Structure 1
Amino acid sequence: MNKMLKLENVRKQYPGFLLDCSLEVPEGYITGLIGQNGAGKTTTFKAILDLISVDSGKITVMGKDHQELNQKDREKIGVVLAGSSFYDGLNVRQIASVMEQMYPQFSGGEFLKLCGRFGLPGDKKLREFSTGMSAKLKLLTAISHNPRLLILDEPTAGLDVVARGEILDMLRTYMEDGTRSILISSHISSDLEGLCDDLYMIHGGKVILHEETDVLLNNYALLKVSEAQYRRLERKYLLRVKKESYGYNCLTRHGQFFLENYPDMVVETGSMDNVIMMLVKGEGV
């Protein structure tokens, strides 16, 4: 399987923080990067885009070292970074004109049609846009020059459920080509659960989990057990344990095993939020 993006032992040291990250995004995949604020997601994205220099490691984008990408290569990457925005005195038509000059593959006419479909008026200044309208505009500009790879840092942050749904639908349509890829981060786990093929979790600058989304949702589980039940558990199947007032909360990758062999125990189907909570707050077995 071709790798659209690959990070190998990428390290970046800041005072009090060290990023040490390896991950890959295959062609045709939507890969999610999850983690708490300050975990290293934005640093990872900036390293990929060569917005910061790394201390060591290798970053490959579309088969090339990320520092050797030429202008045509960079035109094949669409980007939405958290906190980025256009000058708010512009309108959508003016942005279309600017983008056409920057990207040969950008179709101003198609872009304006898409903007109209998603409720973005052509002549209204961006300072008058709602948060949801601004988010949709940033994503539409990122995908309208026909990139092969999207790098999306919190594209749905601060949006209501309807606006988030529209953005996720845009991404699903973008992926219908079959040869494109997305690396996306989000604090909203339900968005990534229904969108991503696989997930990386980063904590304290290190990747602590990589899993196919279907495996995480179908195989992972939480066991809620008493002290006596905990003593009977087969520990080799446990990933993390957290002491609770009633006994223990245990994370496992083998939910079906415990359902079949421990019928007296409470076994809850895994979710991304549960996995994140247990990996961060739980202890090793």
Structure 2
Amino acid sequence: MLKVRGLKKNYGDFCLDVSLEVKKGYITGLIGRNGAGKSTLFKAIMGLVKMDDGDIEVFNDEGFYSEIEKKRMLGAVFSDSGFSQYFKVKEIASLMESMYPKFDKNGFLERCKAWELPLNKSIKKFSSGMIAKLKIIAVTSYGARLLILDEPTAGLDVVARRDMADMIREYMMDGERSVLISSHISGDIEGLCDDVYLIEDGQILLHEETDTIRDGYGILKMTYDQYEKIDKEFLLKIKKEKTGVIALTDRRNYYEENYSGIVIERGNVDDIISLMARGDEK
């Protein structure tokens, strides 16, 4: 669905150098700290940033499409952009109908009603959660087959984030669509995505299936004496503290079976970001 190869952009003291793939039927997560390069990559995919080198393929494995058709099948939501605050939902529906031949106006309005968005109220009177829902409903109403979602749940409460996830799952139900989503909220990624890329300082540090992270990754908490005695072959990163050593592994079961005296916890997205970005080599 989407292939990014050797994409590079230099900003003086920051260099983006990324390769990744989003498969058909996949929700792929891009995680990383603020400033890691997530938004720059997304804007490059959308053609909003001119890159220095690299290649982006969208829908090339899906058949022949013109550039106009590709743009109409690609939808994006950015946290810092959206509709004019003076528009009403009905006005947005008319605007999008004029822009997208496949826009489902009736379906769009029905979904807005179902998600309790007033049709005749100016967007400036909407809450942040309502605006976020409106963006997702809009971008999934004109036949887009690939969504690029940059922090779509930023600033939302738990209920609104759950609603957002439900919308994305509904969009994915036919198995022919894909989503690339960034989020700094680990629960959004772990509960929604099929695979995850970790980006740090413009580089991809890790790519794993979400099930692999859930089932195989772990955090080891040890004294310095314990650390000196264990097999370090399957340790990815470590962090030395005053009271001992914390280590990230992708072979949790191995250490559970062979080192009963060590505290071993399941790894999650937050653990991976923290240790892969700030940890030391073993």
The interval holding the TM-score normalised by the smaller chain is over 0.9
Q: How far does residue 217 in structure 1 lie from its aligned partner after superposition?
A: 1.2
Q: Which residue of 1 aligns with 2:52?
A: 55
For the residue of structure 2 that corresponds to 1:53, the secondary structure is coil
Q: Which residue of 2 aligns with 1:25?
A: 22
For the residue of structure 2 that corresponds to 1:141, the secondary structure is helix
Letter aligned with residue 146 of structure 2: L
For the residue of structure 1 that corresponds to 2:49, the secondary structure is coil
Q: Which residue of 2 aligns with 1:209?
A: 206
1:138 aligned onto 2:135: yes
Letter aligned with residue 248 of structure 1: V
Q: Which residue of 2 aligns with 1:112?
A: 109
Residue number among 259, 263, 267 corresponding to 1:262 in the alignment: 259
Extract unaligned runs of 5+ from structure 2.
none
> Cα RMSD over matched residues?
1.0
CA distance in 2, matches of 1:195, 1:139: 15
Residue number among 143, 149, 153 corresponding to 2:146 in the alignment: 149
For the residue of structure 2 that corresponds to 1:277, the secondary structure is helix
For the residue of structure 1 that corresponds to 2:111, the secondary structure is helix
Q: Which residue of 1 aligns with 2:86?
A: 89
Residue number among 252, 276, 279 corresponding to 2:249 in the alignment: 252
For the residue of structure 2 that corresponds to 1:27, the secondary structure is coil
Residue number among 148, 163, 175 corresponding to 2:160 in the alignment: 163
For each residue in 1:45-78, what CA deviation from the matched residue of structure 2 results, as whole angstroms up to 9, or x when unmatched?
A: 01101111110111000018xxx95212211111
For each residue in 1:132-166, what CA deviation from the matched residue of structure 2 results, as whole angstroms up to 9, or x when unmatched?
A: 00000011110001211011001111000001100
Q: Which residue of 1 aligns with 2:32?
A: 35
Q: How far does residue 82 in structure 1 lie from its aligned partner after superposition?
A: 2.1
Letter aligned with residue 184 of structure 2: H
CA distance in 2, matches of 1:223, 1:57: 38
1:277 aligned onto 2:264: no
Letter aligned with residue 33 of structure 1: L
CA distance in 2, matches of 1:123, 1:82: 23
For the residue of structure 2 that corresponds to 1:250, the secondary structure is strand
Q: Which residue of 1 aligns with 2:68?
A: 71
Q: Which residue of 2 aligns with 1:177?
A: 174
Letter aligned with residue 162 of structure 2: G
1:229 aligned onto 2:215: no
For each residue in 1:207-250, what CA deviation from the matched residue of structure 2 results, as whole angstroms up to 9, or x when unmatched?
A: 00100001011101011001110011111111001011221001
For the residue of structure 1 that corresponds to 2:172, the secondary structure is helix
For each residue in 1:251-276, what CA deviation from the matched residue of structure 2 results, as whole angstroms up to 9, or x when unmatched?
A: 11110000000011100111111111
Q: Which residue of 2 aligns with 1:14?
A: 11
CA distance in 2, matches of 1:158, 1:126: 17
Letter aligned with residue 119 of structure 1: E
CA distance in 1, matches of 2:199, 2:210: 15
Letter aligned with residue 251 of structure 1: L
Give the TM-score, by structure 1 length. 0.96
Letter aligned with residue 31 of structure 2: I
